[in-house]
Amino acid sequence: MTPSLPDEHPFGESSRVLITGGTGSFGRAFISRTLVEFPHIKRLVVFSRDELKQWELQQQFPEKEFPQLRFFIGDVRDKARLLRALEGIDTVVHAAALKQVPAAEYNPIEFIKTNILGAENLVQACLDCDVRRVVALSTDKAAAPINLYGATKLCSDKLFIAANNIKGSRSLSFSVVRYGNVMGSRGSVVPFFLGRANSGILPITDPAMTRFNISLREGVDMVFWALQNAFGGELLVPKIPSYRIIDVAEAICPNCQKPVVGIRPGEKIHEEMITSADSFTTYDLGPYYAILPSDGSVQQLYLDKGIPLTPVQQGFAYNSSSNPDFLSVKQIRALIREHVDPSFAPL
């Protein structure tokens, strides 16, 4: 594998970017930031299968004000549609996925079709088009997965990383970014608890349960960093805090009843983003960890670029329960006001 050198900045005036799953929580945040910080970008294509959400996004970003924005209805399950959408595209951010853990347990083949076969369709389509950079979004559930969703995302990660081995002479790199629960994203615990607070009851799966926490802004920052610095073949993991589910409930509604209802199918008590088995090829980059290819091809490129690499200790694991950085109830409330609801007040 011969990694490609990254550009000096994420996007220039000639950049043509496509984001799959562009109408999701991450996609909308990525689009908003890109249009603000890189207003002269040549083209930004929103690829998703939901026409209503695309229409809503068009109302937010009208064509007269944002002529560089394009909307492309399609599904990653459809390779022919991907090939059409990727014409002229040089950068791809892959955010499309089915993500709900219980739904994956009940409908496994649907998650396989989108998260695995859809990833392979995108890899092949990027190889067939003149794409230069691909950054795919992953999840902490892909590390030592016990549920179907995590297993499909682990397969997806492997497909994107391995794609660097078959790119031949193309100037093309595939990288993956992996992070935890996004504060306030659809289907996550914070909006769920906010919606239930007025009932006076917040169901707790397990009092010991912990999760990693990241904001949408931090998630977009990480993708920008990867687009600017990644060489291909790396899996990047951010250094982010954890929270206890019971503390989230306390932050939102200290006066609510909090019955313990048990974990859902496929759930873990704690999540991890780097397992001890990964420690042999994991490096500390400063703001991020990176799981790098074992052949050493990418390590020297980072050093040549002036990005220090510090190997982690053998046996190192990055787990939400042993994370040294935990959010307090007060910090959780501040983050809810900042990222979810500015008018939030605990009940």
Residues 73-98 pLDDT 10s: 999 999 999 999 999 999 999 999 99
Closest CA to 241 of 337, 324, 318: 324
Which structural domain range is residue 94 located in?
A: 12-179
Q: Are residues 196 and 105 in the same domain?
A: no
State the pLDDT at residue 7. 44
Q: Which helix (H) or strand (E) holds 190?
A: helix 189-196
Assess if residue 2 is contained within a domain: no
Tally the residues of the chain: 347
Q: Are residues 168 and 194 in the same domain?
A: no
Assess if residue 221 is contained within a domain: no
Q: Are residues 329 and 258 in the same domain?
A: yes
Assess if residue 222 is contained within a domain: no
Residues 192-204 have pLDDT tens digits of 999 999 999 999 9
Assess if residue 7 is contained within a domain: no
Assess if residue 17 is contained within a domain: yes
Assess if residue 33 is contained within a domain: yes
Cα dihedral 165, 170, 171, 176 sign = negative
Mean pLDDT score, 226-251: 96
State the pLDDT at residue 3. 40
State the pLDDT at residue 1. 38
Q: Are residues 104 and 208 in the same domain?
A: no
State the pLDDT at residue 147. 95
Q: Rounded to whole angstroms, how far apart are CA atoms 152 and 163?
A: 17
Assess if residue 3 is contained within a domain: no
Assess if residue 133 is contained within a domain: yes
State the pLDDT at residue 180. 87
Q: Are residues 204 and 63 in the same domain?
A: no
One-letter amino acid identity for 59? Q
Q: Are residues 43 and 24 in the same domain?
A: yes
Residues 50-75 have pLDDT tens digits of 999 999 999 999 999 999 999 999 99
Q: Are residues 165 and 185 in the same domain?
A: no
Instruction: Tell me, rounded to whole angstroms, the distance of Cα 194 from its chain centroid.
Output: 23
Q: Are residues 36 and 141 in the same domain?
A: yes
Backbone angles phi, psi at 57, to 5 degrees: -70, -35
Q: Are residues 160 and 243 in the same domain?
A: no
Predicted confidence (pLDDT) at residue 241 exceeds the cutoff of 70: yes
Q: Are residues 237 and 254 in the same domain?
A: yes
Q: Are residues 196 and 340 in the same domain?
A: yes
Q: Running DSSP on this structure, what letter comes out for residue 41?
A: -
Give 153-160 contacts, CB < 8 A, sequence gap 24+: 153/97, 153/115, 155/115, 155/116, 155/119, 156/97, 156/115, 156/116, 156/119, 157/235, 159/116, 159/119, 159/120, 159/123, 160/94, 160/119, 160/123, 160/134, 160/136
Pick the catalytic residue: 141, 153, 167, 268? 141
167 included as an active-site residue: no
**Both structure tokens of 289:** 């960890």
CATH number of residue 89's parent domain:
3.40.50.720
One-letter amino acid identity for 344? F
Mean of per-residue pLDDT scores for the chain: 93
Q: How many domains does the chain have?
A: 2
Q: Are residues 211 and 333 in the same domain?
A: yes
CB-count exposure of residue 267 (10 Å: 0-12, 13-18, 19+): middle
